């Protein structure tokens, strides 16, 4: 086990760790941006309120060439390896003000068999990117994003007993991802309108985002009925909601088709038990 203290260079350790290492973070905060590329890492902390990795990149930030970062370079941590596990820590993007700065990703997961337990993910717009990218963006970002962030692959992920909080589309991507016993919290910057999930799955994917026994809650200041559970970022986005609890901030309609699109005709959204008043195109799971 590698024991890491607040004065240690966690960014270097995460970037250079060998396969199957166990890295343990003591209580503290590390302001770093790091990409994890070693498979089989286990990263643990002292608790989601005690051990935190924090950075503040944002989509409209300019790089050294004067080019905007774009959503997919704003992560605090990017997991680009398989069989990575994280427990009892927080990953945060604290840039804030997305209305001015754009999207702000806390965690990007672009790997298979990822597990996160008892963790906190905090940002505003686009908190968690559950890879892979939609295929049109894999093509579009050739030469712009690193190849590790452009792979066309299966990314199976599981989040258990986690707190994930944000404002707009704060769980998004094409991952085959299970959220179990998680709290999905809308923050007060979403006081006028917000969306929890924005799935973009390909038509041939039979697994998408699955929320099991999750609680959808709000920060003080979020009004009643203004948050949607999900909207399809691409035509065939797939979301399943099973035995979830919804606060009064969730719109009675439940779901949105994404602006002036016809994605209500193709999106695959399921909810069980059925809730009266939902949009007519949401289906009940068998």
Span 90-107, pLDDT tens digits: 999 999 999 999 999 999
Q: What's the pLDDT score for residue 249?
A: 97
pLDDT digits (tens, 9 = 90+) for 154-205: 999 999 999 999 999 999 999 999 999 999 999 988 667 899 999 999 999 9
Structural domains in the chain plus CATH codes: 2-251 (2.160.20.10)
Q: What's the pLDDT score for residue 190?
A: 65
Percent of all residues in the chain with a pLDDT value above 70, rounded to a whole number: 99
Q: What is the helix (H) or strand (E) element at residue 164, kind and residue range?
A: strand 163-166
Q: What's the pLDDT score for residue 46?
A: 98
Closest CA to 161 of 178, 182, 138: 182
> Do residues 60 and 101 touch, judged by C-beta distance below 8 A?
yes
Tell me what the mean pLDDT of segment 1-9 comes to. 96
Distance of CA 218 to the CA centre of its chain: 17
Q: What is the helix (H) or strand (E) element at residue 169, kind and residue range?
A: strand 168-173
What count of other Cβ atoms lies within 10 Å of the Cβ of residue 60?
A: 15
pTM of the entire predicted model: 0.97
> Do residues 212 and 193 touch, judged by C-beta distance below 8 A?
no
Q: What is the mean pLDDT of the chain?
A: 97
| pLDDT of residue 272 exceeding 80 | yes
């Amino acid at each position: 086990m590698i024991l890491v203290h607040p004065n240690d260079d966690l960014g270097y350790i995460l970037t250079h760790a060998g396969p199957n290492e166990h890295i343990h973070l003591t209580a503290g905060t590390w302001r770093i941006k790091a990409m994890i590329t070693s498979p089989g890492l286990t990263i643990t902390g002292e608790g989601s309120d005690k051990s935190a990795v924090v950075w503040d990149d944002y989509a409209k930030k300019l790089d050294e060439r004067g080019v905007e970062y774009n959503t997919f370079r704003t992560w605090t941590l990017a997991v680009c390896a398989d069989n990575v596990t994280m427990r009892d820590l927080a990953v945060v993007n604290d840039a804030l003000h997305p209305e001015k700065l754009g999207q702000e990703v806390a965690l990007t997961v672009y790997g298979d068999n990822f597990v996160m337990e008892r963790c906190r993910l905090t940002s505003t717009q686009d908190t968690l990117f559950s890879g892979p990218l939609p295929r049109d963006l894999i093509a579009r970002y050739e030469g712009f994003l690193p190849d590790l962030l452009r792979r066309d692959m299966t990314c199976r992920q599981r989040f258990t007993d986690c707190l994930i909080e944000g404002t707009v589309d704060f769980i998004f991507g094409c991952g085959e991802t299970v959220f179990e016993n998680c709290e999905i919290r809308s923050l007060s910057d979403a006081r006028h309108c917000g969306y929890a999930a924005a799935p973009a799955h390909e038509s041939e994917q039979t697994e998408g985002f699955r929320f099991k026994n999750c609680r959808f809650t709000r920060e003080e200041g979020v009004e009643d009925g203004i948050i949607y559970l999900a909207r399809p970022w691409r035509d065939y986005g797939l979301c399943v909601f099973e035995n979830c609890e919804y606060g009064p901030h969730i719109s009675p309609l439940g779901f949105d088709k994404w602006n002036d699109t016809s994605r209500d005709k193709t999106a695959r959204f399921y909810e069980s038990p059925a809730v009266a008043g939902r949009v007519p195109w949401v289906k009940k799971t068998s």
